[in-house]
Amino acid sequence: DIRHPEELSLLRKPRDPSKKKKKKLDDQCEDDAFELEGPLITPGSGNIYSSPGLYSKTMTPTYDAHDGSPLSPTSAWFGDSALSEGNPGILAVSQPVTSPESLAKMYKPQALLDKAKINQGWLDSSRSLMEQEVKENEALLLRFKYYSFFDLNPKYDAIRINQLYEQSKWAILLEEIECTEEEMMMFAALQYHINKLSVMSSENHLNNSDKEVDEVDAALSDLEITLEGGKTSTILGDITSIPELADYIKVFKPKKLTLKGYKPYWCTFKDTSISCYKSKEESNGTPAHQMNLRGCEVTPDVNISGQKFNIKLLIPVAEGMNEIWLRCDNETQYASWMAACRLASKGKTMADSSYGMEVQNILSFLKMQHLNPDPQLIPEQITTDINPECLVSPRYLKKYKNKQVRARPL
């Protein structure tokens, strides 16, 4: 099930008005393109319209072959697809654009009037399909109508997040929405890295699927064994103690007129505060500086090739905002301190269950940047593998050469 289905609505498939004379040929081309662009609910195989009729007078009940439970009437519409077999996880997997030829067959609005006609095709959710003259076997698109979303949780909303990404991707490629050149290239880079990471994650999933255990289930299992008087396989952590960080960090307080650079301090991170000492031996005394990060602004400043791992902090004080820069020595140190700073800015400590996930997300982001070297050092083989027609809209393809477009996302 997709959480918050109220965000979704049905949209009539836009038709190209310039191709009405070649209707039969175009219907075949549009059907091919429709299978590529597709609605948000896209079966993996089988015919979407395999039901006896959209307005069938009789409803013959169908049952699940596995457990005998009655199936929803809509399950028949998906035929022999993976959706009808109870595998909606296919909707959480993003598929790259197959070819520029297939993309060229799809309808692209040329003017503002064409875009307005697309929005005219939204159906009224309070009226039936028959009332709105939806014909049998007519293609409808399931889309997010308003760009105001409820909470997004990667643990529960894998399908929802992927469909948001897919809708954004096709809206940009087909020029249904306006965006700047910077936004276009940023999204092209996201597409490239998502496709790369999808391949890597699928390979890692095959190797690590047996090792992945939900931490809540593991804790409940250990608790159950403990209550029964047995010994757990793992040692339960002391939930009463709050984790702390302590390491040498370079600290810099930027000012308009200063020649001073970063100065190393022995820094300890406790609760939501950072205490800076001149040396490790003085950590039991009074700190030279102390910062409470609750409500502060945290900004990353990272350059993998230059081995720069900075954390910029804007800390609210009585006089205004106090700017402090922290420089870490390596990725591991940066991920730990950056995650702690982000949680502290929200008033949370490292005892929060999201701390470990935050550290892993930062490390994954840094790993992704390792795939993004200097464009001048990119091998020719990598750039030739990138298909610019499938990453940016035709308007920007006319503006730049293919070689330039290939280098920008990298």
Last residue of a domain, one of 178, 203, 235: 178
User: pTM for the whole thing?
Assistant: 0.49
Q: What is the pLDDT of residues 277-316, one digit of tens each?
A: 999 999 889 999 899 999 999 999 998 888 899 999 999 8
- Same-domain status, 143 and 267: no
Last residue of a domain, one of 128, 159, 178: 178
Could you tell me the two tokens for 287? 């700190």
Asked whether residue 377 is domain-assigned, the answer is: no
Beta-sheet strand order (sheet of 320-328)? 289-292, 273-277, 263-270, 245-252, 320-328, 308-317, 297-303
End-to-end CA distance of the chain, in Å? 36
The answer to whether the CB of 97 falls within 8 A of the CB of 170 is no
- Same-domain status, 12 and 156: yes
- Same-domain status, 154 and 261: no
Identify the domain containing residue 350 by its residue range.
Answer: 245-370
How far apart, in whole angstroms, are the C-alpha atoms of residue 52 and residue 214?
A: 43
CATH number at residue 268: 2.30.29.30
Angstrom distances, CA of residue 13 to CA of 2, 37, 104, 163, 211: 22, 11, 17, 17, 44
The string over 31-49, giving b where at least 16 C-beta atoms fall within 10 Å of a residue's C-beta and e elsewhere, is eebbebbbbbbbbeeeebe
- Same-domain status, 136 and 273: no
The answer to whether the CB of 407 falls within 8 A of the CB of 383 is yes
How far apart, in whole angstroms, are the C-alpha atoms of residue 307 and residue 301?
A: 11
- Same-domain status, 135 and 13: yes
Backbone angles phi, psi at 249, to 5 degrees: -125, 140
- Same-domain status, 168 and 27: yes
- Same-domain status, 9 and 158: yes
Angstrom distances, CA of residue 73 to CA of 46, 53, 70, 77, 269: 16, 11, 9, 8, 57
pLDDT score recorded for residue 274: 94
- Same-domain status, 25 and 107: yes
pLDDT score recorded for residue 238: 46
pLDDT score recorded for residue 29: 52
Asked whether residue 168 is domain-assigned, the answer is: yes
Asked whether residue 302 is domain-assigned, the answer is: yes
Asked whether residue 254 is domain-assigned, the answer is: yes
The answer to whether the CB of 143 falls within 8 A of the CB of 13 is no
Q: Residues of the chain whose pLDDT is less than 50? A: 33-59, 66-67, 73-79, 82, 84, 206, 209-212, 234-238, 375-384
Q: SS3 string of 119-176?
A: HHCECCCCCCCCCCCCCCCCCEEEEECCCCCCCCCCCCCHHHHHHHHHHHHHHHHCCC
- Same-domain status, 28 and 127: yes
Q: What is the pLDDT of residues 245-255, one digit of tens each?
A: 999 999 998 87
Number of domains observed in the structure of the chain: 2
Helix (H/G/I), strand (E/B), else coil: 252: strand
pLDDT score recorded for residue 210: 47
Asked whether residue 405 is domain-assigned, the answer is: no
Handedness of CA 140, 145, 151, 153 (dihedral sign): positive
- Same-domain status, 11 and 130: yes
- Same-domain status, 41 and 146: yes
Asked whether residue 87 is domain-assigned, the answer is: yes
Asked whether residue 202 is domain-assigned, the answer is: no
pLDDT score recorded for residue 199: 64
Last residue of a domain, one of 355, 370, 385: 370
The string over 152-171, giving b where at least 16 C-beta atoms fall within 10 Å of a residue's C-beta and e elsewhere, is eeeeebebbbbbbebbbbbe
- Same-domain status, 163 and 273: no
Rg from Cα positions in the chain: 27
Q: How many of the other CB atoms lie within 10 Å of CB of 270?
A: 16
Asked whether residue 258 is domain-assigned, the answer is: yes
